[in-house]
Structure 1
Amino acid sequence: MNRTRRTVGLLFGGCSAEHDVSRMSAANILRALDPEKYDIVPIGISRNGHWLLGNAAAPDAKSLEIPSDAADVALLPGRDGDLIVLDATNKTIRLDVVVPVLHGPNGEDGSVQGLLELAGIPYVGSGIMGSAACMDKDVAKRLLRDAGLPVVPFLSVTPGKQVDYQTATETLGTTALFVKPANMGSSVGVSPARSAAEFDKACALAFRYDTKILVERSVAGAREIECSVLEDHTGKLSASPLGEIAPAQSHGFYSYDAKYEDAAGADLRIPAVLAADVASRIGHLAVEAFRVLGCEGLARVDFFVDPADETTIFLNEINTLPGFTAISMYPKLWEAGGLPQRDLMDVLIGHALARHGRKRAVSNA
């Protein structure tokens, strides 16, 4: 069915520790979607997992709010791949495409993507496999390492396979470590550790958010470089100009507070000042990592660059649903590359619809 307007389901909130970041991203995306092209249906997921229709925030609000008095809704597969939203009045709302603005577990990990696949509805971003692989930093780093891409040396730790500070430092070859949950983003649960006491405290914090954590070698004074990768409706991949994040000395690293709580928490430098050949290599590595991990649509790829030798590059991690807040790097890097966020959303929705069409053609062959 050809229509000039599309009905877009905007999923936001969620049950992860990144709930608040999701609501900030969703507010920015809502403003970016062209009202001349799209009818938008906000669907908020509360912290306890209730799905609710509507948005209680003002148009210029920093975050979308989930209405406290809204009734739960049910999502069901409809005819011809439509997702049907059943609300309290039993009316149906057919969605042409979904933008899952959900960061972290229960949204960025393939779970919601599986629901949308079962419903047969187009959605923005990576599919089940790419989402799940990138969400688990342990799995992602193993795949990247096996493909020959440079990753920071790391250890995977579970409650049944713990290591102490001495073992970690001897294995990784440094007394300066970072500890993080394997399945989380936005720097939630991430801590540096330079002593046995700090290490034990950092592990305890990370285990609050996941049953598997990573212990990584700290790259002393590393420059934090980010690249946005975008896939268009034809499958062509493009790398954005690069950006650099310089955290304020008071934070030490790009923590959650530096990202979202402190307006002076970091200096975002776009474009990053790097030699042309180094910038080109980072862009190439970003696209290659995107392919290796089976990403689709969009991803932000984060790197560490050795300040003493910028040819020494480490791939840190990949975010398949990166932040879209007003200060987030993903849309900012594309704006620097000449693609405003309104046009960026058109590309992402165009990719979702085209991919859906290709998959249906294959399944019907």
Structure 2
Amino acid sequence: MTIRVLVVDDSNFFCRRVAQILSSDPQIKVIGVANNGQEAIQKVQQLKPDVITLDVEMPVMDGITALKQIMQLQPTKALMLSSLTYEGAKLTLDALDAGAADFMLKSYEGISQSSGQLANLLREKVKEIGLKGKVVATKTATTPVQQPSAPVSNSRGQFKLLAIGASTGGPVAIQKFLTSLPANFSLPITITQHMPGTFTGAFAQRMNSLSKLDVMEAENGVLLKPGKVYIAPGGKQMLIEGTSGHPKIRIKDTDARLQYAPCVDLTYGSAAKVFGRQVLAIVLTGMGADGREGARILKQSGAKVWTQDEASCVVYGMPMSVAKAGFSDNEFSADNLASQVLQVV
């Protein structure tokens, strides 16, 4: 299958380089470019691409306004390109909420190298979204509709930590989950979401404002407390240390050998050491297999691991890797996860 891509950016240089990088992959065909949101809307309707790469900040019409209209007129899988600023992070989160499948950072230096890390990541994301991703055309509901699901075992009181891992599509699934939990939720929650450093702070603030829980970007040495949500800082690794009665967070620099920072496997592995069978881990939507090794360690410790089902994932990669390895105890839709968690904690 050839993935047909429309490139949208107000910079002619950036459009040209993105098109060149994508066209170097035989699975990708760039079918057009646009320099603002209005052009993007017209060309999406005319060309019907499989994927759009869409700049967040543009003149005439910005990427988010364009995306909202595209999702109404011709729902299309979108990869947002964003600047590494706090404001850029907030706008990108708005875009994900409006239906974008994923995002990546804009870098004029990185985009000038066709064989560099950024170019490889761009091709990888477009292929992952184009081949496996789903269009999410509706805004995240803060009160999700509950759906019937498989019964869960009566484990109330067993758990002392809820550990969530996610990548592509994660911010929207996490928002749906957290906004469905009550203010008196009884467990600490750790969230390991693949995301750059500037973005995790903005994401934590967004979740704190939308949910009834106290959500923060995790800091080194902070004690885990019931009803608090700790989001791993981007570019770092988040570990759990101490004892189950006195657990605390350790934030450390990442190892160059690790593909992800933060890494779900590392957080899960450390949680298993401290809490053992008292962990409930949930692996949400995302590309790749981060979380599979951590899930294996958790299962060896007697913990429970749940996964998001394929139908509600933007990319069914991480949950699939866990389920195929036999480490998933239950799988649920994004809409149904919160109600299932509330049955067992």
Q: Tell me the TM-score normalized by structure 2.
A: 0.30
The structure with higher relative contact order (CA 8 Å, sep 6+) is: 1
The structure with the greater share of residues assigned to helix is 2
